[in-house]
Homo-oligomer: A and B are copies of this chain.
Amino acid sequence: MMQNGSTKDDNWQIKSSQAALATSATARWMASAKKSKSTDESVPSKSTITLSIGELLPPTEARAAIVDAIQESSAHGYAISYGNSITRQAVAEFLSDSNLKFTIDDIIMTSGCNQAIETCFTCLADPGDNILIPRSSFSLFDSLCAAGHIEPRFYNLRPDKGWEIDFEDLKKKHRRANTSCSHQQSIKSMWHYEIYAGMTFEGVKFHATATLSERVPVLTCGGISKLFCCPGWRCGWIAIHDPMNYLFDSVRPCLFDLSVRLLGPNSIIQAALPRILNETPKIYFKDYMAYVQKNAELMFDILSQAQPTIEPHKSQGALYMLIRINPDQFDGTIENEIDFAKKLMDEQAVSCVPCTSFGISNYCRLVTVAPFENVRDACERIVEFCHKYQKKSNGHTHNNNNTE
């Protein structure tokens, strides 16, 4: 608002930096993809179904640990920028097992997993470098690449094989990277986003990437947000696995030094973290994953009724599932996953995230951790939506009462 009578000088209109505009473009796209296309015209009569991790509570033990930590005088002052010793020691023990050992010197605490990822990007890549990224991945990678003038080189995963790496494609991208890029270092180390570490369904085993590497350094970006249902707490870490000491001279010390830019996670959470990690009973995780698995199975069953317009993929863990959108099975109304997500929000007030922002087309992502009733209602609305717009062939029409 103009607050005084001075004349506005249009030469003063101030532009944002290129890096800011690049981040902004990605953020805008994400936000618009989640929103209704035409909120004014077609406000859905149905109430919006929120699918969000926020509905579940962190473990009782974790909340009690925080209440106690608040009483400690040491929990309020500046933490060490890369994390306090008791905190890092607790994380090192939490991540270690018979196959993989971390010490306190391998752990850098961060303000959520996002800071961990940004720190790894900043530390490893100069402008003009490239980074191999699987699709689908995480939209933050795009933002950071754009802001840092780093070229993302996407390699494919195989939806038909449970999203395992398409090694032929990876080799191709890797080879190109070796020959066409002036800085090859970015393909000599790996950072890995393991915020869903250990969150697998019954009968599925999780393998930390670091356990698979005897030579290649692996920087694992993790945190407590998903496993302890507390994404708002912003407590993450980088765990350095470097069996051959390839990071010893330069990258390892720089990762620690970069922590001065943000000074890490909240000090109360740091003080409470040893108890959060050690005292949360195993049954919490078991019940939690059983709850998510039950949701995921229900969602798969309901959404299967909408085939062939969409194809749900069975989740093996984590807190979401992917559904494939088949535009050629729709009546022409749905051209791609963005169309699907927008129209679904417009008409059925159900939000799902088009995976365009994760690097793949024709897929949408649905959160599996919301309350059972929300999940069920959301999926039933999706089926209704798909049947309404399904391509009519051989005189056969779908409607709500005619599911196959």
Contact = CB atoms under 8 A, between A and B. Distances in A.
B126 A19 contact: yes
A74 interface: yes
A70 B30 CA distance: 30
A168 interface: no
Contacts of A42: none
Contact of A232 (B23, B124, B140, B266): B266
Interface string A1-44: 11110101100111111111101101110100000000000000
B258 A23 contact: yes
Contacts of A1: 243, 245
Given A13-B250, A30-B260, A63-B71, 13 more contacts: A12-B188, A13-B249, A14-B189, A14-B247, A17-B126, A21-B254, A27-B260, A53-B77, A54-B77, A77-B231, A111-B262, A115-B262, A232-B268
Nearest to A84: B232
A243 to B, nearest CB: 4
Residue with the greatest number of chain B CB neighbours at <10 A, chosen from A26, A77, A245, A255: A77
Nearest to A264: B234
Contacts of A124: 14, 16-17, 20
A232 B74 CA distance: 9
A271 B190 CA distance: 37
Nearest to A52: B77
- Size bin of chain A's contact surface: 35 or more
Nearest to A248: B13
A243 B2 contact: yes
A229 interface: yes
A254 B114 CA distance: 18
A267 interface: yes
Interface in A82-133: 111-112, 114-115, 118, 122-126, 129
A232 B229 CA distance: 22
Interface of A: 1-4, 6, 8-9, 12-21, 23-24, 26-28, 30, 52-55, 57-58, 63, 66-67, 70-71, 73-79, 111-112, 114-115, 118, 122-126, 129, 140, 143-144, 147, 185, 188-189, 214-215, 217, 229-234, 243-247, 249-251, 253-255, 257-258, 260-270
A251 B23 contact: no
A123 B20 contact: yes
Contacts of A247: 14
Given A17-B125, A118-B261, A266 B233 contact: yes
A76 B3 contact: no
